[in-house]
Amino acid sequence: MSIALLLLSAGVVILLVFLIIFRVNRNSTEQPLPGPPHVINEMDVFSKRGGGMPKFVIELHQKYGPIVFFTIGNLKMVSIGSPELYKEHQHLFDRPVELFIILVEVLGKGTIQIANGERGKFLHKSLSRPFSFPECKNYYPMLRKIGNSFVNKLETLPKHSHVPLLENMLILIIKEVLLVAFGYEFDDEDIARKQLQNYKDAFGDVFYGDEEAVKTKDENMYKGIVRYRQLLIDVLNNRLKTRHMDSNTHFVDVLLDLGLDKDEELDNAVSFFTAAFHTTAHLLTWLLYYLGEFQHIQDKVRLELDNVLKGADVSNDNLQQLTYLHQVIDETLRTSFVAPFAARVSDVDVQLGGYTVPANTPVVHCLGHSLTDPKYWSNPGTLPSTEFDPERFSEEHCKNRPALSFAPFGFAGKRICPGYRFAYVVAIVLVSIILRKYRVKLVDGQDIRKVIGLVTKPTDEIWVIFEDL
Ligand code: HEM
């Protein structure tokens, strides 16, 4: 009896020891990781070379699943790419500064992009307001004006001209953002062209994959940064002189009234200008590209514009009724994942997918993976997850997916992109102007693929024809 008791106690002790070891292991980052650690050169983090960090991380997820651990230089990092894991990170506001430091050279150290804690929350809350849905109602006439001037420019071209789409969208959106957000208007398109060149010089290694610039940070890059920021200095000075003549409804007025010091003001003017124009211009490029590729979808959008608008302009009152166009934009955001990642950090250990992620470890939110994960996006028996199909966003299909499977503007800590409503408004106004006048067609023989960087752009310029209806 006593031997049996002894054996039973020994069994219980062994079981307890086993459970403790197992539990410690489960919660430790020392245990075998979901994917082996990978090392890439620090210089490559944001460069194009193969898409840099965003592409690298997407590929890790495709191989190892929704949570991966990896190393860049000496920096240990985690990446998550599923709605279930996003839920566990939904409460975090702070960004890992290390991942965004490369932007500071251009945006300045006062940028919202690396502002954490109370200051970050203050900036995010105050500077989101001018882009809220009710505020957007003031912007339609300005957006129409620029959209119509684009159409007028097209009218001066010979019929069937081949038009470079990305270049035109970048210039158009630079003009729209300067007018709508900063109250800055100019007739001379050269200003926008020059600013686009400054952007390419300043961000060469980050967005445009200039490998030499990565290695040498050449003089051209520094000159580009100075010129790029100078335009925003001019814009702020101009507003300080003219704002009493106008109503104070622009983003720039909110910025100037926040009580920031001059450097912070400029850094956030540059930050919002950049974040707004390059993402939205790429969204529009991909959107018109898909409409050109899928003529039946373009016809359906045009029919909806006719039925809903009946010849009127888009406004806050009818915008939501354009449900099919919203579906097409959402599918564009999904398949092109314009902004392929976000990131967060916590100053205490956090549990993530059953692992303990140590305090201060940067955690990437791999939107580029979750937006194309076949688990949520394959239409059973028909389309693979990378294929363009706006029906994925019909009411019925949306019901069957977790909300965070579609988070192209981020999701965590109430720090979702401040400009997301504005991006829809810009896209819808422009598409409504273009499609009611032209059929958009792709020039034959192009092989367009994606380059994943900080934004996802086409490998080469996309050439289109705007054909009279
Ligand atoms: C297609 C268009 C756009 C896409 C896909 C996009 C995507 C994103 C994403 C994924 C983030 C990171 C969110 C996070 O950390 O969780 C972000 C942040 C940001 N976006 Fe956008 N964005 C777009 C347009 C805009 C526009 C139009 C503006 C300005 C009006 C803007 C301003 C910003 C700013 C300032 C931040 C940083 C906010 C902060 O640090 O608190 N974006 N955006």
pLDDT at residue 408, as a whole number: 98
Find the residues whose C-beta lies inside 6 A of ligand 1.
112-113, 124, 131, 271-272, 275-276, 279-280, 283, 338-339, 342, 408-410, 412, 415-419, 422-423
Bridge partners for 351 per DSSP: 356
- C-beta separation of 434 from 151 below 8 A: yes
Structure-model confidence comparison of residues 58 and 18, the more confident one: 58
Show Cβ contacts of residue 190 under 8 Å, excluding neighbours closer than 6 positions: none
Q: Which residue in this structure is represented by tokens 């205490």?
A: 348
Gap from CA of 96 to ligand 1 centroid (Å):
16
Instruction: Indicate the SS3 state at residue 439.
Output: strand
Q: Which residue in this structure is represented by tokens 């980050």?
A: 206
pLDDT at residue 14, as a whole number: 45
Domains and CATH numbers, the chain: 32-108+116-468 (1.10.630.10)
Candidates 116, 170, 279: which one to mutate for ligand 1, based on the most atoms within 8 Å of Cβ?
Answer: 279
Instruction: Indicate the SS3 state at residue 137.
Output: coil
Gap from CA of 367 to ligand 1 centroid (Å):
13
Gap from CA of 417 to ligand 1 centroid (Å):
4
pLDDT at residue 209, as a whole number: 46
Show Cβ contacts of residue 371 under 8 Å, excluding neighbours closer than 6 positions: 333, 334, 335, 337, 377, 405, 406, 407, 408
Report which ligand 1 atom has the smallest distance to the Cα of 410.
Answer: 16
Protein residue with its CA nearest to atom 17 in ligand 1: 417
Q: How far is 12 from 17, CA to CA, in rounded Å?
A: 9
Q: How far is 239 from 273, CA to CA, in rounded Å?
A: 15
Of 187-201, 203-217, 234-248, the range with the lowest mean pLDDT is 203-217
Q: Indicate the helix (H) or strand (E) that contains 467.
A: strand 463-468
Q: How many CB atoms lie within 10 A of CB 346?
A: 20
| Stretch 362-382: mean pLDDT | 87
pLDDT at residue 207, as a whole number: 53
pLDDT at residue 76, as a whole number: 86
pLDDT in tens, 133-171: 999 999 999 999 999 999 999 999 999 999 999 999 999
Q: With a cut of 80, say whether residue 79 has pLDDT above it.
A: yes
- C-beta separation of 55 from 452 below 8 A: yes
pLDDT at residue 26, as a whole number: 38
Report which ligand 1 atom has the smallest distance to the Cα of 272.
Answer: 35
What residue type is assigned to position 162 of the chain?
H
pLDDT in tens, 384-434: 788 999 999 999 889 989 999 999 999 999 999 999 999 999 999 999 999
pLDDT in tens, 315-333: 999 999 999 999 999 999 9
Of 106-115, 199-208, 213-222, 350-359, the range with the lowest mean pLDDT is 213-222
pLDDT at residue 220, as a whole number: 78
| Stretch 192-198: mean pLDDT | 95
Report which ligand 1 atom has the smallest distance to the Cα of 412.
Answer: 16
pLDDT at residue 41, as a whole number: 57
DSSP 284-331: HHHHHHHHHH-HHHHHHHHHHHHHHHTTPPP-TTTGGG-HHHHHHHHH
Instruction: Indicate the SS3 state at residue 456.
Output: strand
- C-beta separation of 335 from 386 below 8 A: yes
Q: Which residue in this structure is represented by tokens 């590929």?
A: 59
CA dist list (Å): 160 to 156, 157, 441, 445: 12, 8, 10, 16
Bridge partners for 467 per DSSP: 439
Report which ligand 1 atom has the smallest distance to the Cα of 124.
Answer: 41
pLDDT at residue 23, as a whole number: 36
The reply, when asked if residue 417 is annotated as ligand binding, is yes
Structure-model confidence comparison of residues 42 and 399, the more confident one: 399
Protein residue with its CA nearest to atom 3 in ligand 1: 279
Of 176-180, 239-243, 270-274, the range with the lowest mean pLDDT is 239-243
Q: With a cut of 60, say whether residue 206 has pLDDT above it.
A: no
pLDDT in tens, 433-463: 999 999 999 999 999 999 888 889 998 999 9
pLDDT at residue 34, as a whole number: 61
- Tokens of residue 125, six digits: 């809350």
pLDDT at residue 384, as a whole number: 74
Highest-confidence range of 28-32, 68-72, 235-239, by mean pLDDT? 235-239
Q: How far is 67 from 35, CA to CA, in rounded Å?
A: 8
Q: How far is 70 from 156, CA to CA, in rounded Å?
A: 53
Q: How far is 426 from 271, CA to CA, in rounded Å?
A: 19
Report which ligand 1 atom has the smallest distance to the Cα of 177.
Answer: 30
pLDDT at residue 48, as a whole number: 44
pLDDT at residue 36, as a whole number: 60
Structure-model confidence comparison of residues 244 and 184, the more confident one: 184
pLDDT in tens, 279-295: 999 999 999 999 999 99
